[in-house]
């Protein structure tokens, strides 16, 4: 098998969760860090959507982050992330859908004229309150796909206003996030790489 190509952007939560799964599965990829303002032609030719992550494999292109996670873990899942209740996929859908929509409108209000960022923050908070009640160390008692599919987006929301986030009555959610941010796992997937250019030597991840 040819080593897969992973087009990524370090801070993007979708790319973070793809890297988390690839690292857990131990699947080596050639990582190409993308600057979203200056997308290389090779990336645009590979990615149908022009978004990261984009994984190019022998069998085709995987252009959705959750699909990248599932592709990696279905090949090798040493930590049994896929062994979770079906409910976990429902939580991921809520995170990717209504929560992410409210997060974007909280973080980037200028992009969404006519929306109230405070109102959107409250909509996002309703999901996080439910999630706080779900978590007991982990969402299902131990690490699963749901935890690592959702954590990067909770991180993004928390960083909009960390003091406000830390003051919310979400002790289990806050501990869950802080443990993730302090982990060697998170550090491992957040390495800094120079933007990729045609002709660069391959960067292997993980």
Q: How many angstroms separate the CA atoms of 201 and 32, rounded?
A: 10
For the segment 28-71, what is each residue's pLDDT rounded down to a tens digit?
999 999 988 889 999 999 998 889 999 999 989 999 999 999 99
Strand partners, 60: 57
What local confidence, expressed as pLDDT, does residue 36 receive? 84
Which helix or strand (DSSP H or E) is residue 5 part of?
strand 5-8
Q: Which domains does the chain have, with CATH numbers?
A: 5-79+187-205 (3.40.30.10), 87-183 (1.20.1050.10)
Under the phi-then-psi rule, with left for phi > 0, alpha for psi from -120 to 50, and beta for the rest, what region is 36?
alpha
Q: What is the mean pLDDT of each run of 10 residues along the chain (206 residues)?
A: 91 97 97 91 89 94 96 97 98 98 96 94 98 98 98 98 97 98 97 93 95
pTM of this prediction?
0.95
Q: How many angstroms separate the CA atoms of 66 and 39, rounded?
A: 22
DSSP 8-state symbol, 2: P
Q: How many angstroms separate the CA atoms of 1 and 137, rounded?
A: 38
Given the DSSP bridges, would you call strands 29-33 and 5-8 parallel, antiparallel or unpaired? parallel
User: Can the peptide bond before residue 206 be classed as cis, meaning omega within 30 degrees of 0?
Assistant: yes
What local confidence, expressed as pLDDT, does residue 1 receive? 60
Determine the 3-state secondary structure of 6 from DSSP.
strand
81's CB contacts (< 8 A; 6+ apart) are 21, 24, 73, 143, 144, 145, 148
Q: Are 114 and 59 in contact (CB under 8 A)?
A: no
What local confidence, expressed as pLDDT, does residue 103 receive? 97
Angle of CA points 94, 73, 152, to nearest 5°: 40
């Amino acid at each position: 098998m040819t080593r897969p190509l992973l087009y990524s952007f370090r801070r993007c939560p979708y790319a973070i969760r793809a890297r988390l799964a690839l690292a857990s599965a131990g699947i080596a990829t050639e990582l190409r860090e993308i600057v979203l303002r200056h997308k290389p032609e090779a990336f645009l030719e590979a990615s149908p959507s022009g978004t990261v992550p984009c994984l190019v494999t022998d069998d085709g292109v995987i252009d959705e982050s959750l699909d990248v996670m599932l592709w990696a873990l279905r090949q090798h899942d040493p930590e049994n992330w896929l062994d979770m209740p079906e409910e976990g996929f429902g939580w991921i859908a809520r995170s990717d859908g209504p929560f992410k929509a409210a997060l974007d409108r909280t973080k980037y209000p200028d992009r969404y004229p006519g929306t109230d960022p405070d109102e959107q923050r409250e909509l996002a908070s309703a999901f996080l309150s439910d999630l706080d009640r779900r978590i007991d160390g982990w969402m299902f008692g131990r690490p699963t796909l749901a935890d690592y599919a959702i954590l990067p987006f909770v991180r993004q929301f928390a960083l909009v206003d960390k003091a406000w986030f830390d003051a919310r009555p979400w002790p289990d959610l806050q501990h869950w996030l802080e443990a993730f941010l302090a982990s060697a796992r998170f550090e491992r997937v957040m390495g800094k790489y120079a933007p990729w250019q045609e002709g660069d030597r391959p960067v292997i991840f993980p």
